[in-house]
């Protein structure tokens, strides 16, 4: 087999693994229960309005795509994991939003150059393994003068710290794969987009999470529903000592982030970045 075919097979296997991770558990529940407002935050910051053509990359169940459609835009919600679309369609119908759902790899988007007025991703594209490839594709499909809007968990925020806590228990990443929370580092995103964009606006903010009764309740919910956490526990399932250690580490981390006054709550930090593609 030629070197190029070997590389293609390896990439196909990697993407199949990523799809399986996000199909596991119940990401729809996580998006609805824990971070329901984040997509609307991104759509507003990106200035989505009536008449625009909008692409949501790594759309999941439509956290950003549905608010964009409700703003009057023509929206395509794309994701590597189409298993999430059924719930997305239900949510869209419930809210009266009309949009298109299309399976797509963020690193090889099946859309024409300069096809969209706005290209969004709300804690979605950050999980594609090759950051530059994904950034290049988002720029490619965005029209000159169009808007790119990104909302990503930061490395030092709770989710970034959670991935760091899980890393010692997880299998080593494949060669060339980059950590998802790097998309929450403004300097990294500016480097990915380069001089192809202008008018970059970046700010850090937090989402207040008070869905859980306590640190252990958070941990158990993510063990049952969040694909990446499920995958790490699956990798160590035959080692009870490691399972117990990770149980302790995740609960301790959640305890460190408790900002509740009499009840458990956390503030999860994200980076919100918008830019215009250079005309």
Q: Identify the residue whose tokens are 């202008």.
A: 198
Closest CA to 275 of 139, 154, 181, 140: 139
Q: Which domain holds residue 194?
A: 3-209+267-277
Tokens standing for residue 244 = 């117990």
> Running DSSP on this structure, what letter comes out for residue 168?
G
The answer to the question of residue 40 being in a domain is: yes
The rounded distance, in Å, linking the Cα atoms of 32 and 48 is: 21
According to the model, what pLDDT value does residue 153 have? 98
The rounded distance, in Å, linking the Cα atoms of 185 and 112 is: 29
According to the model, what pLDDT value does residue 11 have? 86
The answer to the question of residue 132 being in a domain is: yes
Tokens standing for residue 245 = 């250690």
According to the model, what pLDDT value does residue 176 have? 85
pTM, to two decimals: 0.96
Q: Is the dihedral of CA 245, 217, 95, 71 positive or negative?
A: negative
What pLDDT digit, counting tens, does each position of 240-274 carry?
A: 999 999 999 999 999 999 999 999 999 999 999 99
**Radius of gyration (C-alpha) of the chain in whole angstroms:** 18
Mean pLDDT of the chain: 96
Total Cβ atoms within 10 A of residue 135: 25
Q: How many domains does the chain have?
A: 1
According to the model, what pLDDT value does residue 1 have? 57
Tokens standing for residue 255 = 């305890």
The rounded distance, in Å, linking the Cα atoms of 107 and 184 is: 18
The answer to the question of residue 31 being in a domain is: yes
Which domain CATH number covers 22?
A: 3.40.50.150
Tokens standing for residue 250 = 């995740």
The rounded distance, in Å, linking the Cα atoms of 146 and 63 is: 21
According to the model, what pLDDT value does residue 247 have? 98
What pLDDT digit, counting tens, does each position of 127-145 carry?
A: 999 999 999 999 999 999 9
According to the model, what pLDDT value does residue 51 have? 96
The answer to the question of residue 260 being in a domain is: no
* DSSP run (H or E) holding 197: strand 197-209
The answer to the question of residue 252 being in a domain is: no
According to the model, what pLDDT value does residue 9 have? 82
- Beta strands 197-209 and 266-277 are antiparallel
* Secondary structure (DSSP) of 176-195: T---GGGGG-HHHHHHHHGG
The answer to the question of residue 190 being in a domain is: yes
The answer to the question of residue 116 being in a domain is: yes
According to the model, what pLDDT value does residue 50 have? 97
What's the burial of 238, exposed, middle or buried (CB within 10 Å: 0-12/13-18/19+)? exposed
Q: Walk along the chain (279 residues) and give the pLDDT tens digit of each residue.
A: 566 666 678 888 889 999 999 999 999 999 999 999 999 999 999 999 999 999 999 999 999 999 999 999 999 999 999 999 999 999 999 999 999 999 999 999 999 999 999 999 999 999 999 999 999 999 999 999 999 999 999 999 999 999 999 999 999 988 889 999 999 999 999 999 999 999 999 999 999 999 999 999 999 999 999 999 999 999 999 999 999 999 999 999 999 999 999 999 999 999 999 999 998
The answer to the question of residue 242 being in a domain is: no
The rounded distance, in Å, linking the Cα atoms of 107 and 128 is: 7
Q: What is the dihedral of CA 233, 268, 85, 226, to 10 degrees?
A: 10
Q: How many CA atoms lie within 13 A of 134 on its CB side?
A: 27
According to the model, what pLDDT value does residue 270 have? 98
């Amino acid at each position: 087999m030629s070197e190029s075919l070997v590389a293609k097979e390896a990439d196909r296997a990697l993407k199949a693994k990523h799809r399986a991770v996000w199909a596991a558990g119940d990401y729809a529940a996580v998006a609805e229960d824990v971070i329901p407002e984040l997509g609307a935050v991104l759509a507003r910051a990106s200035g989505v309005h009536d008449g625009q053509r909008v692409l949501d990359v790594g759309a999941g169940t439509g956290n950003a795509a549905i608010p964009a459609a409700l703003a009057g835009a023509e929206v395509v919600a794309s994701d590597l994991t189409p298993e999430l679309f059924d719930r997305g369609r239900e949510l869209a119908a419930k809210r009266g939003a009309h949009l298109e759902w299309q399976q797509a790899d963020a690193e090889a988007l099946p859309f024409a150059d300069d096809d969209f007025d706005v290209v969004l991703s709300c804690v979605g594209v950050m999980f594609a393994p090759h950051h530059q490839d994904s950034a290049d594709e988002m720029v490619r499909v965005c029209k000159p003068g169009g808007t790119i809007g990104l909302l990503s968990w930061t490395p030092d925020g709770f989710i970034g710290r959670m991935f760091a806590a899980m890393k010692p228990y997880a299998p080593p990443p494949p060669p060339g794969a980059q950590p998802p929370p790097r998309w929450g580092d403004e300097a990294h995103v500016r480097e990915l987009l380069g001089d192809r964009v202008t008018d970059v606006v970046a700010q850090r903010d937090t989402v207040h999470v008070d869905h859980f009764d306590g640190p252990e309740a958070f941990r158990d919910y993510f063990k049952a529903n969040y694909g990446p956490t499920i995958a790490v526990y699956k990798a160590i399932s035959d080692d009870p000592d490691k399972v117990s250690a990770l149980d302790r580490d995740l609960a301790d981390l959640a305890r460190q982030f408790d900002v509740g006054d009499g009840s458990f709550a956390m503030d999860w930090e994200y980076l919100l970045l918008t830019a215009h593609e250079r005309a």
